[in-house]
């Protein structure tokens, strides 16, 4: 059991916002449940599929996030960290109904005691909770039942004192990007999609040197993340041509019209067939399907793919079938200044962009909901917040990941977009290992990445 969040810590009150971030198991449920508590990973897949539908499994806690010291608004010294009790350090993380009743309502959050992490200089920032419904069930079961399960997780988030709830992976698309959720006084929601779009746009700039040209195809262009990426590309283009791909033609045409108006110099076209991606040099995948959509036959020789999807919508076989194609996992940020206790499925020091947006809204006290289609103005607001919290990370994972393995960005060192280079963050095993790989003379992408992919599948 994870007792860290119950640790009696210091007595001083705080008004900082605690967040909760919702995730769910992907198509294969057992391995993801095994991240919550290892024995759960041994339950047969069929049993999980049945149990999730027929047994009232409560939301589970996957991870707890701690941040160093107090947020800037609490630097007045009224918290006495010397009383911190770190006796629960090292405990594990399964925690079905593990809720402190004294924190039963969000209004009480303002007066609850500060909680410290296993490292007593870190205080509680938030929780990652698992909605116990697999990706396939999320999309296939009746929406009412699915939303009921998500609301149960939000109930638990409230009991844990969260005042902002992030909707991770498919919990956003199945709730109409949060718009179909029950409003709750004192709790705001975010899809995390605006910061995801912002990082995606930045990643496209960084991938350009590895591409043959500047033709970008966005698959899932009309979605919440996709439409924000497209609007950012209209404003700050990566190349001269843009192909927008989704299934519903009317929404595509409306978006294309908006882009033409914003930037008449861009060559914009639309398509409802993934085959249109074959003309592109860089393909961004922003669909919300349960498994692979993008396959080898959809890609031109030497194409670069940026795949933000969770669960992954690009075919794993690309790693073996297409050594000429570079696939980069998008929507992953460095947060090496934070302490994350629990296995969120990424190397230490990294987090998904949607989790980062939830944290940034909590840390920077950004008010209101960020639901519905991701908004460019909100994305830019988050860029400012990310700069303010750059000491904790909140920039593109560097090196990038390809099928979960580190690969350097083309050109090596990051050109931080607005001159605000992040300050160095706490090093860990992952960043030390990757720094070594990026010494001068290291081959740049795509050669290096392809070599690494070759190693990965060998």
The alpha-helical segments, DSSP class H, found in 37-181 are 45-54, 135-140, 143-159
- Using CB under 6 A as the binding rule, the residues of this chain from 325 to 364 that contact ligand NAP are 331, 352-354
Judged by beta carbon, residue 219 or residue 453, the one nearer ligand NAP is 219
To the nearest 10 degrees (0 to 180), the angle between helices 45-54 and 29-36 is 80
The alpha-helical segments, DSSP class H, found in 351-411 are 353-363, 376-388
364 contacts 383 by C-beta, under 8 angstroms: no
Residues in the interface with ligand NAP (CB under 6 A) total 32
**Shortest distance in whole angstroms from residue 373 CB to ligand NAP:** 7
- What's the rounded Cα separation, in Å, for the pair 228 and 25? 26
Which of 169, 217, 327, 338 forms a contact with ligand NAP (CB under 6 A)? 169
* Kind and range of the H or E run holding 69: none
The stretch among 165-173, 294-302, 358-366, 419-427 that binds ligand NAP (CB under 6 A) is 165-173
Judged by beta carbon, residue 169 or residue 217, the one nearer ligand NAP is 169
Judged by beta carbon, residue 108 or residue 254, the one nearer ligand NAP is 254
Edge-to-edge strand order for the sheet containing 326-329?
267-271, 241-245, 215-219, 282-285, 304-307, 326-329, 400-402, 405-407
The stretch among 13-21, 253-261, 308-316, 360-368 that binds ligand NAP (CB under 6 A) is 308-316
CB within 8 Å of 311: residues ≥ 6 apart? 26, 27, 135, 169, 170, 290, 291
Cα dihedral: 29, 34, 36, 37 (round 10): 140
Q: What CA–CA distances, in Å, run from 182 to 20, 105, 207?
A: 16, 16, 40
**Shortest distance in whole angstroms from residue 85 CB to ligand NAP:** 34
- Using CB under 6 A as the binding rule, the residues of this chain from 178 to 237 that contact ligand NAP are 192-193, 196, 219-226
Closest by CA position to 408, among listed 433, 441, 442, 432: 442
Here's the x/- map for ligand NAP, 232-271, by CB under 6 A: it reads as: --------------xxx--x--------------------
Q: What CA–CA distances, in Å, run from 174 to 55, 179, 310, 383, 452?
A: 21, 10, 13, 27, 36
- Using CB under 6 A as the binding rule, the residues of this chain from 273 to 302 that contact ligand NAP are 286-289, 293
Judged by beta carbon, residue 10 or residue 221, the one nearer ligand NAP is 221
Here's the x/- map for ligand NAP, 111-150, by CB under 6 A: it reads as: ----------------------------------------
What's the half-sphere exposure (Cβ side, CA atoms, 13 Å) at 306?
32
- What's the rounded Cα separation, in Å, for the pair 394 and 300? 33
Here's the x/- map for ligand NAP, 4-23, by CB under 6 A: it reads as: --------------------
Judged by beta carbon, residue 163 or residue 171, the one nearer ligand NAP is 171
Q: What CA–CA distances, in Å, run from 327 to 274, 347, 369?
A: 17, 18, 33
The stretch among 67-75, 209-217, 305-313, 403-411 that binds ligand NAP (CB under 6 A) is 305-313
**Shortest distance in whole angstroms from residue 398 CB to ligand NAP:** 16
Judged by beta carbon, residue 118 or residue 176, the one nearer ligand NAP is 176
Report the residue number whose CB is nearest to ligand NAP.
223
Task: By CB under 6 A, name the binding residues for ligand NAP.
Answer: 169-170, 172-173, 177, 192-193, 196, 219-226, 246-248, 251, 286-289, 293, 308-310, 331, 352-354
């Amino acid at each position: 059991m994870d007792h860290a969040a119950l640790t009696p810590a210091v007595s001083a009150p705080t008004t900082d916002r605690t967040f909760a971030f919702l995730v769910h198991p992907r198509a294969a449920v057992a391995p993801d449940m095994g991240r919550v508590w290892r024995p759960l990973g041994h339950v047969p897949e069929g049993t999980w599929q049945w149990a999730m539908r027929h047994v009232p499994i409560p939301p589970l806690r996957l991870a707890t996030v701690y941040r160093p010291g107090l947020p800037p608004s609490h630097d007045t010294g009224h918290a006495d960290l010397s009383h911190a009790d770190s006796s629960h350090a090292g405990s594990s993380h399964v925690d079905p109904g593990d809720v402190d009743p004294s924190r039963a309502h969000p209004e009480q959050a303002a007066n609850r005691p500060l909680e410290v992490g296993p490292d007593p200089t870190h205080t509680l920032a938030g929780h990652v909770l698992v909605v116990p419904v697999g990706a396939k069930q999320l999309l296939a079961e009746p929406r009412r039942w699915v939303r009921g399960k998500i609301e149960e997780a939000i109930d638990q988030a409230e009991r844990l004192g969260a005042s902002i709830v992030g909707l991770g992976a498919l919990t956003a698309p199945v709730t109409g990007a949060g718009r179909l959720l029950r409003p709750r006084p004192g709790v705001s929601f975010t899809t995390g999609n605006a910061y995801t779009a912002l990082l995606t746009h930045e990643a496209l700039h960084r991938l350009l040197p590895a591409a043959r040209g500047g033709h970008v195809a966005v698959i899932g262009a009309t979605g919440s993340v996709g439409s924000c990426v497209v609007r950012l590309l209209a404003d700050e283009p990566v190349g001269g041509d843009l192909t927008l791909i989704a299934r519903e033609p009317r929404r595509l045409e409306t978006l294309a019209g908006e882009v033409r108006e914003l930037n008449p110099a861009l060559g914009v076209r639309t398509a409802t067939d993934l085959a249109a991606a074959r003309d592109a040099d860089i393909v961004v995948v922003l669909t919300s399907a349960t498994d692979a959509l993008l396959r080898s036959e959809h890609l031109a020789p030497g194409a670069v793919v940026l795949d933000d999807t969770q669960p992954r919508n690009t075919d794993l076989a690309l790693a073996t079938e297409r050594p000429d194609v570079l696939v980069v996992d998008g929507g992953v940020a460095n947060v090496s200044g934070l302490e994350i206790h629990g296995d969120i499925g990424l190397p230490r020091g990294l987090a998904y962009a949607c989790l980062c947006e939830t944290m940034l809204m909590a840390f920077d006290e950004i008010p209101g909901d960020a639901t519905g289609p991701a908004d460019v103005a909100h994305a830019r607001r988050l860029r400012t917040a990310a700069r303010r919290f750059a000491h904790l990370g909140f920039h593109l994972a560097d090196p990038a990941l390809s099928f979960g393995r580190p690969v350097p960005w083309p050109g090596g060192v990051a050109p931080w977009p607005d001159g605000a280079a992040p300050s160095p963050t706490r090093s860990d095993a992952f960043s030390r290992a990757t720094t070594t790989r990026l010494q001068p003379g290291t081959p740049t992408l795509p050669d290096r990445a392809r070599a690494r992919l070759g190693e990965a599948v060998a």
